[in-house]
Amino acid sequence: MQKLHFAYPGDLDTPTGGYGYDRRVISGLEGLGWQVDCVSLGEGFPFPTDVTLAAAKARLAELPAGATVVVDGLAFGVMAQAAADLADHLSLVALVHHPLCQENGMEPAQVRALQESENASLRHARHVIVTSPATARQVEDLFGVASDKITVVIPGTDHPDSVVRTPSNTIRLLSVGTLVPRKGHDLLLDALSQVSSRNWCLDLVGGLEANPACYQDLKKRASNLGLIERVNFRGAVQSGDLTEFYQRADLFVLASRYEGYGMAFTEALAHGLPVIGSGGGAVRNTLPETASIYCETENTTELREALNLLISDTDKRAALADAALQTARNFPSWQDASNQFAQVLQKVAA
24-64 pLDDT, tens digit each: 999 999 999 999 999 999 999 999 999 999 999 999 999 99
CA–CA gap between residue 224 and residue 282 (Å, rounded): 33
CA distances from 274 to 35, 250, 268, 286, 320 (A): 40, 8, 8, 13, 5
pLDDT at 104: 84
Mean model confidence pLDDT for the chain: 95
Q: If we measure between CA atoms, which residue out of 252, 237, 196, 187 comes closest to residue 217? A: 187
> For residue 350, is pLDDT > 90?
no
With 0-12 CB in 10 A as exposed, 13-18 as middle and 19+ as buried, what is 88? exposed
* % the chain with pLDDT above 90: 91
pLDDT at 224: 98
Q: Report the pLDDT averaged over residues 212-233.
A: 97
* % the chain with pLDDT above 70: 100
> For residue 167, is pLDDT > 90?
no
Q: What is the CA radius of gyration of the chain?
A: 21
pLDDT at 97: 96
> For residue 238, is pLDDT > 90?
no
CA–CA gap between residue 14 and residue 329 (Å, rounded): 28
Contact 121, 77 (CB under 8 A): yes
pLDDT per residue as tens digits for the range 103-143: 888 899 999 999 999 999 999 999 999 999 999 999 999 99
Q: How many residues does the chain have?
A: 350
Which amino acid is present at 247?
Q
CA–CA gap between residue 92 and residue 109 (Å, rounded): 28
Fill in the DSSP letter of residue 198: S
Fill in the DSSP letter of residue 147: G
Q: What is the dihedral of CA 319, 325, 330, 331, to 10 degrees?
A: 110
Strand duo 171-176 + 200-205: pairing: parallel
pLDDT at 209: 92
> For residue 1, is pLDDT > 80?
no
Sheet of 251-255, strand order: 231-235, 200-205, 171-176, 251-255, 275-278, 292-294
The answer to whether the pTM exceeds 0.95 is no
CATH 3.40.50.2000 segments of the chain: 3-156+332-349, 171-328
Contact 174, 237 (CB under 8 A): no
pLDDT per residue as tens digits for the range 195-218: 999 999 999 999 999 999 999 999
pLDDT per residue as tens digits for the range 59-111: 999 999 999 999 999 999 999 999 999 999 999 999 999 999 998 888 999 99
Q: Domain 3-156+332-349 classified CATH 3.30.365.10?
A: no
* Fold exhibited by the domain 171-328: Rossmann fold (3.40.50)
